[in-house]
Amino acid sequence: MLVDARSLPAEENIEADVCIVGAGPAGITIALELLDTGARICILESGGNEPGEVRSGLVGGESTGYPYVSLRHVNRRALGGTSHCWELWHACPLDRVDFEERPDVPGSGWPFDRSVLVPFYRRAEELCGASPFDYPEAPESDESVAAHLPVEPGSLVLRSIQIVPNTFGGHAERLAGSDAVRILLHAVADELVVDGEGGPITSIRALTGPDRSISVHARNFVLAAGGIETPRILMLNNRARPRGIGNEHDLVGRYFMEHPAARSGTIVPSTSTLLEREELYYVPGTLYWDADGRVASRTVLTLDERVLHREGLLNVAFLLEAQTRAFATSGTRAIGTFGRAVVSRPLVPHLVRHGTAVLRDSLAVSRTAARRVMRRPVDPEVLVMRVQAEQEPRPDSRVTLGRRRDAFGRPLPRLDWRLSQLDTRSIRRAQEVVDQTLAGAGIGTVEDKLGTETAPVLFYGLYHHLGTTRMHRDPKQGVVDPDSRVHGVPNLFVAGSSVFPTAGWANPTLTIVALAIRLADHLKRLHGP
């Protein structure tokens, strides 16, 4: 049942078994998994059916760290959440190494290894319409590279990512048509009402307009509002607990991670071998579909996990894009930097150097622009490396409450995104390994590597907000326990990528759905048959 909460009487009281805050992929998945259990489900969604229907003044915030896109653009408050950003999305599980505690990566290690999550990955694949992935228990086989390139084994691994059509809109429609589910649109979760000190949550007060609110009473509550809004909700509830709910050890909002991405290098082939292996790269505007025409895939180049362990590196992946020499210049990359500068807060640094690069490479820039305007196909000459990297979890990279206020007078979030030396060292070293491996085989070299470019690379985020309510068995080191329950609160849970202790390089949605299914199973056990 779909209800505009603004039409409900003020101070309306709603009863449910499970109340979910947020109707994005995580919240939708949990509701779907509970649909046939007989549980009464209530979903609070602060937006409407479409992102444009959100109340003016609810979105936004401040950014004070590494340049990041304006927070006005990062949330999709609507039924379907961030899935409104994509018609197609990249599905890939985390690597085995991403779950491991790595001595050279502070804060690494999940409270369980990947094998625990594999059954839930399988169910997530089905729910998302993805094809089955492999989940090897040993390091990825060198055969993944050897079958495609004549290189020495032990350094590089090829991984496949699937490009899957967005099914979450259809899932949301199914929920909206169920009598067991009440989806309240334009209901802004505000106060988590606690039964005494250290007791359970008894209800959530949701704002529906100026001086208007409703309350949802439930046995269990799930925050699935994203990696910025979820910690904000916890910190806003600071009446009884000065730091906010679940924040006794000042961890809520800390360990914010993204997937730093950039066009960071260029592979220049020495022979025809690389460009003949079309399965290694993609041509802009081209998708490679499976035999059923259902799921497309792309290949990424990563490091063997034994290299990561041996050299103390974060996980890094390179998507290889076939391009012309003109496109591969610093000037064309600088054009993209200027585009991101328009919506970055704070402003992008080194703009003069980027402008100089554009002027110096003006002929290449004009040729690239002309080819795009005339829609001429790419005649591959080089392979541009687009990096997508794991980020070190560090406590000073964080979300806090800012000075600006939303439409209801509540502090908006402030983001302080920090990148570390380990982040950039891992990318630099990964490019060196690729360069050494290809050069050793006599088939190519990597130019314009990170750290050697004339105009500094500007990393950008992929709207993957991770780690701000991290999972850990010890409440002094994490906000939620291995069952995604907030430490110290018996009936409050968190779903989404904010619980990731580390993030690997893979897009998080498949893992978000797998964890949501796992949480739903836990809620089923709590409610009984």
Over residues 351-406, the pLDDT tens digits come to 888 788 878 888 887 887 777 777 788 888 999 999 999 999 999 999 999 999 99
Stretch 211-220: mean pLDDT = 96
Q: Does residue 430 fall inside a structural domain?
A: no
Stretch 74-81: mean pLDDT = 79
Q: Does residue 441 fall inside a structural domain?
A: no
- pLDDT given for residue 153 in this prediction: 84
Q: What is the pTM of this model?
A: 0.95
What is the bridge-based pairing of β-strands 188-194 and 13-15?
unpaired
Closest of 74, 63, 73, 60 to residue 345, by C-alpha: 63
Average pLDDT of every residue of the chain: 91
* Contact criterion met (CB below 8 Å) for 95 and 160: no
Residues 35-52 pLDDT 10s? 999 999 999 999 888 776
What is the bridge-based pairing of β-strands 41-45 and 181-185?
parallel
Q: What gap in Å lies between CA 57 and CA 55, rounded to an integer? A: 6
Q: Does residue 354 fall inside a structural domain?
A: no
Q: What gap in Å lies between CA 330 and CA 526, rounded to an integer? A: 56
SS3 372: helix
- Token reading at 274: 């690389």
The total of structural domains in the chain comes to: 1
Q: Does residue 381 fall inside a structural domain?
A: no
Q: What gap in Å lies between CA 335 and CA 354, rounded to an integer? A: 8
- pLDDT given for residue 142 in this prediction: 57
Q: Does residue 57 fall inside a structural domain?
A: yes
- pLDDT given for residue 477 in this prediction: 97
- pLDDT given for residue 56 in this prediction: 64
* Contact criterion met (CB below 8 Å) for 220 and 192: no
| Cβ atoms within 10 Å of 515's Cβ, excluding its own | 26
Q: Does residue 139 fall inside a structural domain?
A: no
104 φ/ψ sector (left φ>0, alpha ψ -120 to 50, else beta) = alpha
Q: Does residue 435 fall inside a structural domain?
A: no
We report the CATH number of the domain holding residue 122 as 3.50.50.60
Least confident of 371-375, 448-452, 510-514: 371-375
Q: Does residue 393 fall inside a structural domain?
A: no
In this model, does residue 29 exceed pLDDT 80? Answer: yes
Owning domain of residue 103:
1-129+167-257+464-529
Residues 120-174 pLDDT 10s? 999 999 999 999 999 988 775 556 677 788 888 889 999 999 999 888 989 999 9
Residues 82-121 pLDDT 10s? 777 778 899 999 999 999 999 999 999 999 999 999 999 9
